[in-house]
Amino acid sequence: MLSRVAESIYWMSRYVERAENVARFIAVNLNLSMDLASEGHQQWLPLVTTTGDDKLFYELYDAPTKRNVLEFLTFDRNNPNSILSALIDARENARSIREVISAEMWEHLNNFYLMVKDVGRAGGVSEEQLVFYEQIRASGQHFIGITDATMTHGEGWHFGQCGRFMERADKTSRILDVKYYILLPSPQHVGTPFDELQWSALLRSASAFEMYRQRYGRINPANIVNFLVLDREFPRAILHCLSRANDSLHAITGSDPESFSNLPEQRLGQLRASLAFTSADDIVNRGMHEFVDDMQRRVNAVGLALSNTFFTRHADAA
Amino acid sequence: MQQQTSMERVNGVSEYDVGEFYDEMFAHDASPRENCNLLYKRVIGLTTLDLQRRKLAAERSMVRLGITFNVYGDEEGTERIIPFDILPRIINADEWKWVSDGLKQRIVALNMFIDDVYGDQKILKDGAIPEHVVRSAASFRPQCVGLKPPKGVWCHITGTDLVRDQDGKFYVLEDNLRCPSGVSYVLQNRQLMKQAFPDLFESLSVRPVDDYCGQLLDALNYLAEDRTDTPTVGVLTPGVYNSAYFEHSFLAQQMGVDLVEGRDLVVQDKKVYMRTTKGLAKIDVLYRRIDDDFIDPRVFREDSLLGVPGLIEAYKAGNIALANAPGTGIADDKVIYAYVPDIIKYYLGEDPILPNVPTYVCWDEKQRDHVLNNLHNFVVKPANESGGYGMLIGPRSTREEQAKFADLIKSNPRNYIAQPTLSLSRAPVIIEDHLEGRHVDLRPFIIYGRDVFVLPGGLTRVALKKGSLVVNSSQGGGSKDTWVVEELP
């Protein structure tokens, strides 16, 4: 498979996953803000922090009002991580590899982009905000389903899987970070209904609430960390995401999953192993933020190694 | 009663003005031509609203499917659909046979010509066409002299533009032998038409166009059959910003081959390789959609970033086949075009089946004087432009424009030809709630592989602006599906 094509599939999948994740954060916060409206606890800045774009936000807007944050995260082309920007990038990548992906994938992605763009052109979200963000989430899921059902599960598909799961691992870690750093520092709330509401919201933004209930029942921070970081079966848990990315990486190279044949495999394998042999208590004791910081750094390092190994187009020898 | 009213109103056929022109659907008394009878009856049976609804549905599909072309220099909304009129243009099978025979004859002769020009140059030595006309052509590539393309074919894919004059006769307007565009729209338009008029397809026997990509793949594979049983084929595109990118990607997708850009390829030991995730992989055939100028910076334009350094050397070594071969552009220089009837006679000893539009070449003093004295009657075209740019349309031009063109011609007579303004045929298109006649041309597509294949029909381009003669999509033209109908129902 052409390196350029592999790279485009990888990024197409990442960007769709990103758009969907941003919509998730927003939908959950919209819900939360309705529940908390009477207590004056509306918080919109944490959403910007989640994507790591505070600095850019303050360059473009004066205050983190609901309106500003929604605009910034949804339609703002100056924000490379806005939903619209991610979809434009996803579509541009898809457009350059239309001959490789299925016609249904292209069509769906094209329509997904048109839908968001049209709402933006019509003046942004207003009355039916929740419906809009649910549509985005559903469109993202739909794309995954179509991809799974219509694209040959060969090399290209595996690159797409790598992109999607690396992005998802990164986003789940950011969700956890937000709770610890932004929402938590009001000690008076710990253990209150307010705290529980926030933890539930966090689970919901990872679509993890019902699955968490089945697994652990009561809301408990250590269990939540366990579930979102270390669960092997929950599809948005970091360990699960890294394992799936690892499977695809080995499917691409054909090397033994217990070993490695190149740098990305080595780095990803080490990262997976260190997660597989840690516990929620270790993480909490060490400090959630430090853990997440380290995680993101290492996920990025895997992405970089992947890119250097498969995508760079220097004239390598035959 | 209701039915009656809507039939009357439908598309205001009663007010349809055939005008002074040959109309593709209606005879001069505004009655439908025999082969259009059924179409006419079906369309007339629809309400205006229904017809518009079908048209809108087709256009929405195009947006949804991303069937778009890029507009250069347009930042936001850089992609547009080519406006699509859902009334098909119908051509009889017997008339088509004649057109198709004419096209085959033409492309066979043109290939012999190209081979000769870059080979022994017999036609020049024999003086059948003036040598300086060939030597002075901007599209003549001295770098290609002595090249022997696989199977002796230079131009594998041609899109020849035809027009019908007032008398209803087809003429060749120009040959496009380099990277002719539009076939993807033929194939996509047909899909949309099947959705818009499923019932019509059931009752008319319309010749299918679906096997174009299969034919193209066969022709490309054929070029490498001496070297390998399992050739790797690719379509070479300048990239996503090219106006025809949709087509490049569509053809690669439909043939199931790689779509490659120059930066994906590398030449080593005179062999061409693709950069893949598993290292370099050899490629055997390229359907190139990059112009000669940009295809190999070592041989043509040094500043080109689109091409592949060393590609021509690999080509000369016989390690890669290129369709179309570099150098084919010599045969679509518009001055050479004027000599195609002579070329056909010279190589085949036959009279041309399809006539040229009468053409004056300005390098000839007598012809030039005639052109300069009658500029207001002529269409003047530069020898080496496409897309309808740089033309003078005499009868619609101002005195200043004529004076400007007179200067242009005098300063570079070799670069201009002049043709009488034809009265291009018209076809009805849906304009709001009624039909109006618009000028059309026709671009059939020809593939020269083991045999010569002519796709039945082709792309009918429509000048959507009222009265306009310019059909190019880059200048606001639209398209219609073209049906070669097997027999009268």
Nearest to residue B67, comparing CAs of B88, B51, B81? B81
CA distance B200 to B221: 36
Look at A114 and B65 and tell me if their CB atoms are within 8 Å: no
Q: What is the mean pLDDT of residues B195-216?
A: 88
The predicted pLDDT at position B6 comes to 36
Nearest to residue A165, comparing CAs of A157, A155, A176, A154? A157
Find the closest chain A residue to B258 by CA distance: A99
Q: Does position B164 have pLDDT exceeding 90, yes or no?
A: yes
- What are phi and psi for residue B483, nearest 5 degrees? -110, 120
Of how many residues is chain B composed?
489
A253 versus B77: which is more confidently predicted? A253
CA distance B90 to B329: 31
Contact B408, B3 (CB under 8 A): no
pLDDT in tens, chain A (318 residues): 999 999 999 999 999 999 999 998 888 888 777 766 655 556 788 888 877 888 999 999 999 988 899 999 999 999 999 999 999 999 999 999 999 999 999 999 999 999 999 998 888 777 678 889 999 999 999 999 999 999 999 999 999 999 999 999 999 988 887 766 555 545 555 666 667 777 888 888 888 888 999 899 888 888 888 999 999 999 999 999 999 999 999 999 999 888 899 999 999 999 999 999 999 888 888 888 888 889 999 999 999 999 999 998 554 433
The predicted pLDDT at position B389 comes to 74
Cα B312 to chain center, whole Å?
Answer: 26
Is A122 touching B (CB cutoff 8 A)? Answer: no
Look at A98 and B240 and tell me if their CB atoms are within 8 Å: no
How far from A197 is each of A23, A201, B210, CA to CA, in Å?
19, 6, 59
The predicted pLDDT at position B387 comes to 62
Look at A316 and B277 and tell me if their CB atoms are within 8 Å: no
The predicted pLDDT at position A270 comes to 94
Query: Which residue of A114, A155, A313 is in closest CB contact with B263?
Result: A313
Q: Which residues of B touch A (CB under 8 A)?
A: 63-66, 235, 239-240, 245, 249-250, 252-253, 257-261, 263-264, 266, 268, 273-280
Tokens in use for A307? 């890119």
Is A92 touching B (CB cutoff 8 A)? Answer: yes
Kind and range of the H or E element at B484?
Answer: strand B478-485
The predicted pLDDT at position A42 comes to 63
Q: Does position B469 have pLDDT exceeding 70, yes or no?
A: yes
Q: Does position B384 have pLDDT exceeding 70, yes or no?
A: yes
Query: Which residue of A6, A106, A110 is in closest CB contact with B277?
Result: A6
The predicted pLDDT at position A105 comes to 97
Q: What is the dihedral of CA B160, B164, B168, B169, to 10 degrees?
A: -40
Look at A318 and B277 and tell me if their CB atoms are within 8 Å: no
Q: Does position B4 have pLDDT exceeding 80, yes or no?
A: no
Q: Does position B118 have pLDDT exceeding 60, yes or no?
A: yes
Give percent helix, percent strand, percent coil of chain A, each to the nearest 5: 75, 0, 25
Is A111 touching B (CB cutoff 8 A)? Answer: yes
- Considering only the C-alpha atoms of chain A, give the largest distance between any 2 of them, rounded to a whole number of Å: 67
B100 versus B470: which is more confidently predicted? B100
The predicted pLDDT at position B326 comes to 94
Contact B293, B300 (CB under 8 A): yes
A160 versus B6: which is more confidently predicted? A160
Look at A2 and B63 and tell me if their CB atoms are within 8 Å: no
Q: Tell me the whole-structure pTM to 2 decimals.
A: 0.86
Tell me the chain A residues in contact with residue B235 when contact means C-beta distances shorter than 8 Å: 99
Lowest-confidence segment of B48-52, B211-215, B435-439 by average pLDDT: B48-52
CA distance A193 to chain B (A): 47
Q: What is the mean pLDDT of residues B411-424?
A: 91
Query: Which residue of B240, B249, B280 is in closest CB contact with A99?
Result: B249
For B81-113, the pLDDT digits (tens) are 888 898 999 999 999 999 999 999 999 999 999
Is A310 touching B (CB cutoff 8 A)? Answer: yes
Tell me the chain B residues in contact with residue A104 when contact means C-beta distances shorter than 8 Å: none
The predicted pLDDT at position A127 comes to 62
Q: What is the dihedral of CA B58, B62, B67, B68, to 10 degrees?
A: 110
Q: What is the mean pLDDT of residues B117-144?
A: 93
Query: Which residue of B239, B268, B275 is in closest CB contact with A313?
Result: B275
Query: Which residue of A98, A111, A155 is in closest CB contact with B253?
Result: A98
The predicted pLDDT at position B7 comes to 38
For B180-195, the pLDDT digits (tens) are 999 999 999 999 998 8
A115 versus B67: which is more confidently predicted? A115
Tell me the chain A residues in contact with residue B244 when contact means C-beta distances shorter than 8 Å: none
The predicted pLDDT at position B75 comes to 46
Nearest to residue B465, comparing CAs of B478, B456, B453? B478
Q: What is the mean pLDDT of residues B24-31?
A: 89
Find the closest chain A residue to B273 by CA distance: A318
Look at A313 and B264 and tell me if their CB atoms are within 8 Å: yes
Q: What is the mean pLDDT of residues B303-313?
A: 91
Interface test with B, best of A1, A2, A10, A75 (most B CBs within 10 A): A2
The predicted pLDDT at position B74 comes to 45
User: What is this model's ipTM?
Assistant: 0.78
Q: Does position B489 have pLDDT exceeding 50, yes or no?
A: no
Average model confidence (pLDDT) for chain B?
89
